[in-house]
Amino acid sequence: MIQLSMFSNTPVKASSIIGTKVVSTDADSLGNIKEVVIDPRTGKVAYVVVSFGGFLTMGEKLFAIPFSAFEYNVINNEYILDLPKNRLENAPGFDADHWPTMSDEQWNRDVYNYYGRSPYWE
């Protein structure tokens, strides 16, 4: 008998990730996933871009967050981000009209370091 888990690491389509709700570990709504950014050389997900519109008085701001920082909850179809709210308040972000230069290795390292993750390319 196959036992279903609340959490899954089964492959999914990128189109099914976009728009998915992001919540805190306390199930507070944080925002949703706007984009999935893939490294064309390796085929790995570099990070997802999350909108935390209106959360903690930040307004509509976008954040590149390493995909490894999330855990997927199959039952609720949501991504859980285990990060204290004060870290989110101070997270490096950008607006929809001014995306960072994502090919900049230092910018990528800074993003991964901020979220306490090892870069996907190492």
> Which amino acid, 89?
E
- pTM of the entire structure? 0.83
Residue 27 burial (CB count, 10 A): 10
Q: Is residue 119 part of a domain?
A: no
Cβ-based neighbours of 31, under 8 Å, separated by 6 or more: 21, 22, 50, 51, 52, 53, 55
**CA atoms within 13 Å, Cβ hemisphere of 111:** 25
Q: Is residue 81 part of a domain?
A: yes
The domain in which residue 66 lies consists of 21-114
Residue 76 burial (CB count, 10 A): 13
Q: Is residue 14 part of a domain?
A: no
Question: Which pLDDT tens digit goes with each residue over 71-114?
Answer: 988 889 999 998 877 787 788 899 888 899 888 899 999 999 99
CATH code of residue 59: 2.30.30.240
Q: Is residue 122 part of a domain?
A: no
CA distance 85 to 31: 13
Q: Is residue 8 part of a domain?
A: no
Q: Is residue 73 part of a domain?
A: yes
pLDDT of residue 59: 58
Question: Which pLDDT tens digit goes with each residue over 8-29?
Answer: 567 778 888 999 999 988 888 8
> What is the total count of domains within the chain?
1
